[in-house]
Structure 1
Amino acid sequence: MTEPHRAPTRAVVIGGSLAGMLAAAAVRDSVESVEIVEAHELPSGPEPRAGVPQAAHIHPLLSGGMDAIEALLPGTADRLLAAGANRVPMTTNMVYYSPEGWYRRWQNSTQYLIAASRDLIDSVLRSRIGEDPRIAFRSRTRVTGLLGGADRVTGVRLRTPDGTESELAARLVIDASGRSTRTPRWLTELGVDGPAESRIDSGLAYASRIYRAPVCTRDWPVVNVPPDPRRPGAAGGIVPIEGNRWHVSLSGPPGMHPTRDPADFAAYARGLRHPVVADLLAHAEPLTDVTVTHTTVNQRHHYERLRVWPEGLIALGDSVAAFNPVYGHGMSVAAQGALALRRLTADSGLSQGLARRAQRAIARPVDVAWSLAVGQDIRYPATQGHRPTVADRLLHRYVGRLSHTATGNFRVATALTDVLTLKAPPAGLVRPDVLLAAVIGPLRPRPSGPTFTEEERQRMRDAGIPLK
């Protein structure tokens, strides 16, 4: 007796983004093939990819995200470092001027960030994913709709640049198409009521540029001068990336937006709360034009709240929630969501109810990043979508107290870093030991100026950079 024919199980991922590639890695062991459908041409190396405007701006990968990527694709961190990325321990290799003062560069840091261009990160991931014969890329093809109905999605409709349309059946469809996601509209077309949506817009704008660094960037610190929300103004930072380059981003609220004029870039940096960024840039060689972005809205689709959700459909990454890029949470949240999906499929495969369980699991890391991003952005006077409540103001005062304490207390600095890198939930900031430390305050005096080490100062002297 012959066995009945069984169609091969396929997963389709919409979008060749970092989130899309990690989604493919998450489900590859639960299906026979994965097809990543990307609307644009995919570069063969570390080159810009269309549809990723945030790539022009500082793009660190937090330890909470890098650890998740390592769990999905072991060895990726080593490949990034071999390609020129820098591993920056926090706060050991950070020159950070918080609104409460300069942070000490505490040793024995537990968290870190990967400092590299987005182009390099994506390229290393594409190379890693391309080694799996079960995963294929289909570029220059758009997904125009979903197949199936309100109970189950069974595939996607496709269109190529010449107008050819086709259908691609799939057991699982994962939307990783980013901020431009069409899933809310597609759900409506399937007869599913759209999800609630949250939008918090601080009105910030970003201007970024890449420079050739005047010093060797291996083990060079991240330099960061954030704004003081009590007196909104300009902010800026320098991240050491591959190729002995500095990636520089400046930002400002409405009425103080940076411009695309290269002549204004250094002058704008001079207007930060401290001139350290401008002082360093004065001795660096600009390699690119200035790129400005005004799309900094925190935007979230609450799919986890829907009472009806079709089997076979999952949304991930910016398709669920996109954040103000200044916080560097987007890639890490996508990675943690993909890891949550992998754990679910490893436990129960593509069983009934997977899509709803996955959407709720993906929402958990989103909740953490959302509370951090929105908690900061609502402090700006021009923010639209939410105004601070009494509880918000009390929380801001407490976080400010923690930041003040962290300038001279290793325990509190570590607790804050654990949360900001998405390695611990915000509840860790109200542990009894942290509360007590906040009451006592800093145990050591705050540094009086930029906390460069003697070795870094020697590099600057060798490059002719005056020390202040």
Structure 2
Amino acid sequence: MAGTPPSRSRVLILGGGLSGTLAAAALAPHGIGVDIVERHALPDTPRARRGLPQARHAHMLWSGGADAIESLLPGTLEMWLGAGAHRIPIPNGMVSFSPGGWYRRCWPEAQYLISAGRDLVDWAVRTRALALPGVRLLSGAEPVRLLGTRTRVTGAVIRHQDGTEEVREADLVIDATGRASRAPSWLAGLGIPVVPETVVDAGVAYASRRYKAPVDTAGWPVINIQVDARLAGPGSGGTILPIEGGEWMVSLAGTRGGQPTSAASQFLAYARNLRSPLIAEFLDRTEPIGPVTVTRNTANRRRHYEKIRVDGFVALGDSATALNPIYGHGMSAAAQGARALRELASTSDITSKGFARRAQRAIARPAAAAWLLAVGQDAAFPRAIGKKPTLADRAATKYVNRLVTTACSDFTVVEALTDVMTLQASGSGLAHPRVLLAAIRGPRLPPLAGPALTPAEQAVLLGRPAPTPTPTPTPTSTT
């Protein structure tokens, strides 16, 4: 670390990952100096870094998150696409087998997602955030405890790689250290009441592997076999994401009692035993280019910081609300939380009494929407641990299942579900009269007998030279 940094920061961000750099992007434009404390070295290229094991798994950045990031850091979307990421339209850019059946792909674009490796996503955000005036990165350092009183956090003690400790005071401390955050115990050490916590754990494990795509990935769809919580026994699903470098990122997931393993010899067999063997059929046409990696720390964990009264401290991203990655909402919820933080800081002084609590409530709103989507499914699995579904929860789940089935042949419902899934709209949109009427009416067309594939996609399965796919394919349905 070059030089000796000052012993005071206006804002001290603990953690230099996606949430931490987005928090810096939210506050720096207001003329607020920001110091980011990060334990590991952060690369200046889109490559793997220590401390981010989830980067080895498939990540979908929904449009609600991508738009939030672009508003915080204009030009980030261009950086992603220029480095090989894909902008995939929804629903026509997805071959998706939902619990209600195969989705049609003849509809117009409702939303989109960014498909890329996590290292690329983080690199672009980090590059643009660290270029902002007033943002400094303190790498090779980690927080060891918070400073303050029962009513206000005033800084943190930082330990450097040489073992020396530094007391760093701050007007605002933001915890962005992720799932493994020790902030609850640090706050307890200051005499602050225990942070209420809610956990729902379906016991999901992820096994992922990179493959060399057998075709040009430009215009290639996401292939998604969704988990169906209504079936007896463990749930399982999988995804093929086209990412940069002409690769497919393939992730398979299973709940408690039916989890995939790290054994390379079992990866393809697990894919073949999903609700549809489509993923395995595509993988038969290509070769892996890396080992199988497994992650099991996937519980939904919500720390209700908005319910405690303490100034000078805010938690963002997984530190506050960690979501089961199977639904792909973690990055998007963090981005929308950072955007909410920026909006509050534009009208309130960060040192004002109650700022932290107002900020935490603003951050919690988009996270709560993603939380309901995740736990509504996970709590339904028979071996899930944590909060059990209430009668109202079961009624809501039954209604959503009706919508999912209807969406296979009704664009009104497809659009409403897509807006909610991408975090572009709240769940209240599913109660719009048009959507309610469509749900009552039910499916308007018979279900597809198989996936709606383009000629290029079918050619890959048949082992033939594939025509060049177009960015917005016109699928041929298998009926």
TM-score interval, normalised by the smaller of the two chains: over 0.9
Quote the Cα distance in structure 1 between the aligned partners of 2:55 and 2:160: 26
| 1:294 corresponds to | 296
Contact 1:9 1:32 in 2 (8 A): no
Q: Deviations over 1:101-154 (max 9, x none)?
A: 100114322211100000000111121123223111111101111222123222
| 2:219 corresponds to | 219
Task: Name the CA shift for 1:238/1:290 in 2 (closer, same or farther; >3 Å).
Answer: same
Superposition deviation, residue 401 in structure 1: 0.7
| 2:392 corresponds to | 391
| 1:111 corresponds to | 111
Matches within 5 A, 1:59-74: 59-74=59-74
Superposition deviation, residue 195 in structure 1: 1.3
1:419 aligns with 2:433: no
Contact 1:95 1:452 in 2 (8 A): yes
Amino acid across the alignment from 2:19: A
Q: Deviations over 1:158-182 (max 9, x none)?
A: 1112211111222211110101111
| 2:4 corresponds to | none
Quote the Cα distance in structure 2 between the aligned partners of 1:443 and 1:349: 54
Superposition deviation, residue 444 in structure 1: 2.6
Superposition deviation, residue 352 in structure 1: 2.8
| 1:434 corresponds to | 435
Task: Name the CA shift for 1:220/1:352 in 2 (closer, same or farther; >3 Å).
Answer: same
Q: Deviations over 1:161-218 (max 9, x none)?
A: 2211111222211110101111111111111101110111101111000111001111
Q: Deviations over 1:257-301 (max 9, x none)?
A: 111111110111110111110000011121110001111100110
Amino acid across the alignment from 1:197: E
Superposition deviation, residue 455 in structure 1: 3.9
Uncovered stretches (5+) of structure 2, i.e. residues with no partner: 1-6, 467-475
| 2:363 corresponds to | 362
Quote the Cα distance in structure 1 between the aligned partners of 2:32 and 2:236: 51
| 1:130 corresponds to | 130
Quote the Cα distance in structure 1 between the aligned partners of 2:450 and 2:38: 47
Contact 1:19 1:334 in 2 (8 A): yes
Quote the Cα distance in structure 2 between the aligned partners of 1:305 and 1:354: 13
Quote the Cα distance in structure 2 between the aligned partners of 1:189 and 1:436: 54
Matches within 5 A, 1:220-299: 220-231=220-231, 232-299=234-301
Task: Name the CA shift for 1:8/1:166 in 2 (closer, same or farther; >3 Å).
Answer: closer
| 1:3 corresponds to | none
* Partner SS, residue 29 of structure 1: helix
Aligned residues: 459
Matches within 5 A, 1:24-63: 24-63=24-63
Contact 1:208 1:248 in 2 (8 A): yes
Amino acid across the alignment from 1:340: A
| 2:149 corresponds to | 149
Superposition deviation, residue 156 in structure 1: 1.4
| 1:4 corresponds to | none
Uncovered stretches (5+) of structure 1, i.e. residues with no partner: 1-6
Quote the Cα distance in structure 1 between the aligned partners of 2:210 and 2:283: 10
Mean Cα deviation higher: 394-403 or 321-330: 394-403
TM-score between the two structures when normalised by the length of structure 2: 0.92
1:192 aligns with 2:192: yes
Quote the Cα distance in structure 2 between the aligned partners of 1:19 and 1:301: 16
Quote the Cα distance in structure 2 between the aligned partners of 1:78 and 1:33: 27
Superposition deviation, residue 253 in structure 1: 2.0
TM-score between the two structures when normalised by the length of structure 1: 0.95
Amino acid across the alignment from 1:208: S
Quote the Cα distance in structure 2 between the aligned partners of 1:463 and 1:23: 48
Quote the Cα distance in structure 1 between the aligned partners of 2:202 and 2:74: 37
* Partner SS, residue 347 of structure 1: coil
* Partner SS, residue 342 of structure 1: helix
Task: Name the CA shift for 1:180/1:8 in 2 (closer, same or farther; >3 Å).
Answer: closer
CA RMSD of aligned residues (A): 1.7
Contact 1:214 1:463 in 2 (8 A): no
Mean Cα deviation higher: 169-178 or 375-384: 169-178
Quote the Cα distance in structure 2 between the aligned partners of 1:8 and 1:143: 14
Task: Name the CA shift for 1:436/1:8 in 2 (closer, same or farther; >3 Å).
Answer: same
* Partner SS, residue 104 of structure 1: coil
Indicate the percent of aligned positions where both proteins have the same amino acid.
Answer: 51
